[in-house]
Amino acid sequence: MKKELLRINRLNYNYTRTRKLENVSFCILEGECIGFLGLSYSGKDLMTSLLRGELTEGDGSGAIYLGGQKVNDWEVLGKEIYYMCPDNYVIEDWTVAEYLCLVDSGWAGSFWRKGVLNEEAGECFAELELDFDISSRMRDLSELEKRIVDVVKAYRKGARIIIIEDEFDGVSQTDIIKFGKIIRRLIQRKLGVIVNSNSNFIMSELSDKFIIFDRGHVVKKCAREYIKNEAQLERFLLGENVLPSREKIEERTEMSWKEEDIVYRIRNLKIFQDDVKNLNFARGEVVTLLTLNRRKKELLFLILSGRINVENVHYILNGERYDNIDCSELTRKKVVSVRALGSREEVFE
């Protein structure tokens, strides 16, 4: 019988007026990979921040249990819940053994005890039946290998839950599928996983079950197979208070701006088959373009930001038409896009 790792009972938490949780309850058992789904301010990001022990402000009630023991101080959650994100790998000059055993160890003179570090790291990889060169530098590992090392580190630290917040930049879909198989094998021993990603592909490949958030509530808990198509998932994510047709959404959009306020237009944009769109972006508006298809979302970003040019699509900026335009030209026209925050490739004057 699988052991219970994490239980949330009727959790209420008010962080700000727009960020809150109301009557949230769920449970995670050994070997489970749970995906948190929801739009911005749905509550999923607030839930992961709480579980990481990040938040000490705000009013809360309800109960959190780790391994059957009630947590009285939410700050201790960060000690038994491991947070996995790309920022973990910034210590590129360290070996795998040093990354695994030295970070957070607090040993005096640990840098001079290479033999002990290598022995401990080797035993850990051997226990998990992983063939790894523990003397390799972190910078020399593939993106897939770095993430496997991070899972091993969570195991060594005695974590009960791993929270994965990662868009897997630079990782192929084949390697993401491979990572999913590896992590499922490793966590069978004593771990559970929460996946919180903006990628529909990553969520579907890494998660066995979904917990869907909407406006601070859990609106659905289900197995991955329960979601048959994107239309069904969209109903859960958007709730019932959505406009009944695409035509009404477009009608409302057309009425919301004045002609002189439009600074950026896209014409003849074709993302879906036989569905051509004209997009207008006006001063003072914040626009969210929602698609649950990862590939189409990426394509949409590449076109809007001028990173690729597509036949028949043209751009209008401040009254001037461009049949071909690139990212740097758009930036000079004050249409700025950032694909990877913090990347050297995304730094501009």
Tokens 């390697």 correspond to 175
What string of DSSP letters covers 287-302?
A: -----S-HHHHHHHHH
Tokens for 232? Answer: 């069904």
Shared domain check, 167 and 39: yes
Whether residue 205 lies inside any domain: the answer is: yes
Can you give the pLDDT at residue 63? Answer: 87
The beta strands (E) that lie in 51-102 are given as 59-66, 69-70, 81-84
Shared domain check, 162 and 39: yes
Shared domain check, 308 and 205: no
**Of the residues 136, 170, 199, which one is the last residue of a structural domain?**
136
Whether residue 141 lies inside any domain: the answer is: no
Can you give the pLDDT at residue 344? Answer: 66
Shared domain check, 283 and 162: no
Shared domain check, 332 and 279: yes
Q: Evaluate whether 148 touches 166 at the Cβ level (below 8 Å).
A: no
Shared domain check, 114 and 78: no
Whether residue 333 lies inside any domain: the answer is: yes
Tokens 């929801």 correspond to 38
Q: Evaluate whether 84 touches 162 at the Cβ level (below 8 Å).
A: yes
* Total domains present in the chain: 3
Shared domain check, 78 and 222: yes
Whether residue 207 lies inside any domain: the answer is: yes
Shared domain check, 64 and 212: yes
Beta-bridge mates of residue 315: 266, 322
**Of the residues 238, 270, 288, which one is the last residue of a structural domain?**
238
Shared domain check, 178 and 42: yes
Which helix (H) or strand (E) covers residue 252, if one does?
helix 246-254
Walking along the chain (349 residues) 10 residues at a time, the average pLDDT comes out as: 88 84 92 91 90 76 87 78 87 80 54 64 78 84 89 87 90 92 86 91 91 90 85 74 45 56 86 77 82 77 87 85 85 83 63
Q: Evaluate whether 134 touches 114 at the Cβ level (below 8 Å).
A: no
Whether residue 147 lies inside any domain: the answer is: no
Shared domain check, 132 and 158: no
What angle do the packed helices 173-187 and 143-156 form, to 10 degrees?
10
Whether residue 17 lies inside any domain: the answer is: yes
Q: For residue 184, which phi and psi values (nearest 5 degrees)?
A: -65, -35
Rounded distance between C-alpha atoms, residue 294 and residue 279, angstroms: 20
Give the angle subtended at the CA of 73 by the CAs of 184 and 194, to the nearest 5°.
20
| CA proximity to 58, closest of 216, 237, 213 | 216
Range of the domain at 23: 4-92+154-238
Whether residue 297 lies inside any domain: the answer is: yes
Which helix (H) or strand (E) covers residue 7, if one does?
strand 4-14
Can you give the pLDDT at residue 136? Answer: 85
Beta-bridge mates of residue 218: 213
Shared domain check, 184 and 98: no
Which residues have CB under 8 Å from 259's CB, separation 6+? none
Q: What is the CATH number of the domain that holds 190?
A: 3.40.50.300
Whether residue 149 lies inside any domain: the answer is: no
Can you give the pLDDT at residue 207? Answer: 94
Can you give the pLDDT at residue 338? Answer: 82
**Of the residues 206, 238, 270, which one is the last residue of a structural domain?**
238
Shared domain check, 183 and 51: yes
Tell if the pTM clears 0.85, that is, is over it.
no
